[in-house]
Amino acid sequence: MAETTQKVALVTGGSRGIGRACAVALAENGFNVVLSFVSNKSAATEVEKTIQVLERDSLAVQGDVSNAANAQFILDETLNRFGRLDVLVNNAGITRDNLLIRMKDEDWQKVIDTNLTGAFYMTRAASKVMIKQRSGSIVNITSVSGIYGNPGQINYSASKAGLIGMTKSAAKELASRNITVNAVAPGFIVTDMTDGLDTTKVLEHIPLGRLGTSEDIANAVLFLVTSGNYITGQVLQVDGGLVL
């Protein structure tokens, strides 16, 4: 096991979108970064190289967080490389949208498995390391859909609402070990998951008058893990005022 005094962050689903922005922002602020990905190796390699240009060490690990063995493998590879873990960002997530009465069992289960169970597997594995260190920060990327619900996304909304509950429970369990657990709830963010959506009506309900960017979310995550030492169990909405 390698040892380093440089702080280490692990971002799941870090090869694109919000995950990529979080990985780069953390590297820009002095963290060595591990990012997990499922299939897009070329995108993960590009993020790795971007971080290395910032003179930080990086490691891309392939693994599906919805599988407990894969989640543990990602954590083990992090420790093998760096010997510590200071920040976990549970960002990996998918959508399989449909109306309730038309939703297939497998589309319900896959979203729950990835978005909620995957975050549980990673949090369970990471917390064991952080408890021994007596320090750490965990940030779960939820969604405003988990706060107010969204038609056509009952699986996604349920997974993100569950993630909020998990955040609050974990925050209470881990606080005595100097570990903070918070959630960031994005509104409508410009990513490949929102490509093709007609956002005209959505913009009418956003007081700031624009969609968010991945960097907006990354900045919130960065705040929580670098300046949020006395913040835990909270859900930070980054939505331009969409849900007030």
Mode of pairing for the β-strands spanning 87-90 and 235-238: unpaired
Describe the strand order of the beta sheet including 32-37 as a list of residue ranges: 58-62, 32-37, 8-11, 87-90, 136-141, 179-186, 235-238
Please spell the DSSP secondary structure of 181-215, one letter per residue: EEEEEE-SB-STTTTT---HHHHTT-TT-S-B-HH
| SS3 assignment, position 139 | strand
Look up 148 and say whether it is catalytic: no
Which candidate in 121, 148, 156, 230 is catalytic?
156
**Residue 154 in contact with residue 112, Cβ under 8 Å?**
no
- Helices (H), ranges, the chain: 17-28, 41-53, 68-82, 105-112, 118-133, 145-148, 154-174, 200-203, 214-226
**Residue 167 in contact with residue 233, Cβ under 8 Å?**
yes
Alpha carbon 13 to chain centroid, angstroms? 7
Please give the positions annotated as active site.
Answer: 156
